[in-house]
Amino acid sequence: MRPGTVTRRTFVKGGLAAGAGVAFVGPWRWARAQALTPMLIGLTCDATGAFADSGQADRRGMILAIEEANAKGGVLGRPVEPRWEDTATDAAVAVRVAQRMIERDRIDFMIGALSSGVAAPLSELAQRHGIVYCNSNSSSDSVTNEKCRRTSFAFDANNAMFAAALGPLVAKSLGKRWLLLTHDSAWGKSATAAARQAMKQVGAEEAGELLVPRGARDFSAQLLRIRSVKPPVVLANVAGIEQTALREQASDLGSDKDAHWVFPPQDYPDLLALGAKKAFGYFTTTWHYTLTDPGAQDFVQRFRTRWAGAPIEVPDNVSCNGYLAARELLRAVERAGTTRSHDVIKQLEGHVIQDNFRKHPSVIREWDHLVGQMLYLAKGKKPSDMKDKYDLLELIADVPPEQVSPPRDASKCKMQPLSDTPVYGG
């Protein structure tokens, strides 16, 4: 219980002591105080570390959703307030920060994460406390497979989905001999495993695998190896600052012309940091601000108005995921009529998100808590074709959810029953 919160027990005790003359006023004041008690959302977003740019884009989307909820009167009559501390793309830091927000601030819910190495321990922490956690932007398969948790929901697509979307395009248009670059992280290894599965399905051949250490800034050995092997396709499962450094060096050395480069997935903030001349290759993404599906451009305008002057003024795939994760969590609380975790979980499981700014709705799958959604294939634009500094991507195809969402019979998730999940809040 947060300090200062009035419980029914303390009210009854106080009402009896004060006498019948105060008993009529007491319940009204108590209800009013409860209605004004803020609902606290803990935001686990990076401001430093490998995903600093994306972490802040994620947070901008969440803040917009929270502010829009408050403009409509809050949630269950209560204002919604964010609590945030830098999670620094570091699992130990993230867990320490989240633990502090749960125990000190008594947050009601938790949203965030870019790194899968951060999302997994945060999911474990959330399950231990019973707090609902919306993992907004981590894409490792493990968080909705063998490491799935009843309290956690993954709003980004996962590596299996990205690979399934890219596989046919790459094999048909770019080549069937792929060299794999693997980031030495949970996400990178998961992405390469998904790529190998996609290769089997499209009949592609592996030309080798090169490991990219975490924290690497010199990629000359990998780039020279690629030049000597001459693969038609380089599938680069590298993310964050390491991906930015890799692409800068590849562009400077002309290695971007040694093969067709594919980056599954591509977070827009990393691409923008590179600039148009180095934003080469093919990508998958969950969303882009140029889409004209119902509600998309209205969302773009609201975002641009709120975040005019921000480092990234347009909503990207990361901020869109953050927005939807926060908005759908708050909507689930409204439907549940309570912040009690078990009731909110039931409202999230199986929910269909119709107004997701896409052609096809998204579904929060009840058996693994992965959000099944459509994906987009894209490539970098030539600088001469850009309308402004944000116009970096050319969308070349969209893929409906049913073509990329992993089937239920392939899931490794063994979801904890609610009876084994602590009750939090309410």
Q: Pinpoint the residues of the chain covered by CATH 3.40.50.2300.
A: 8-158+293-373, 160-291+375-404
DSSP string, 400-426: -HHHHSPPGGG----PPPGGGS-----
Q: Which residues pair with 41 in a beta bridge?
A: 82, 109
Phi/psi of residue 41, nearest 5 degrees: -115, 120
Q: Are 187 and 116 in contact (CB under 8 A)?
A: yes
Is domain 160-291+375-404 classified as CATH 3.40.50.2300?
A: yes
Tell me, what's the pLDDT at 36? 77
To 10 degrees, the CA torsion angle through 308, 314, 315, 318?
A: -100
How high is the pLDDT of residue 35? 53
What is the second-level CATH architecture of the domain 8-158+293-373? Answer: 3-Layer(aba) Sandwich (3.40)
pLDDT recorded at residue 140: 86
Q: Per-block average pLDDT, block size 10, for the chain (426 residues)? A: 36 33 38 70 95 96 98 97 95 97 97 92 98 95 94 96 94 96 90 94 96 91 96 94 92 95 92 91 96 98 98 97 98 98 98 98 98 96 93 95 94 96 96
Q: What is the DSSP letter of 6?
A: P
- Say whether pTM exceeds 0.85: yes
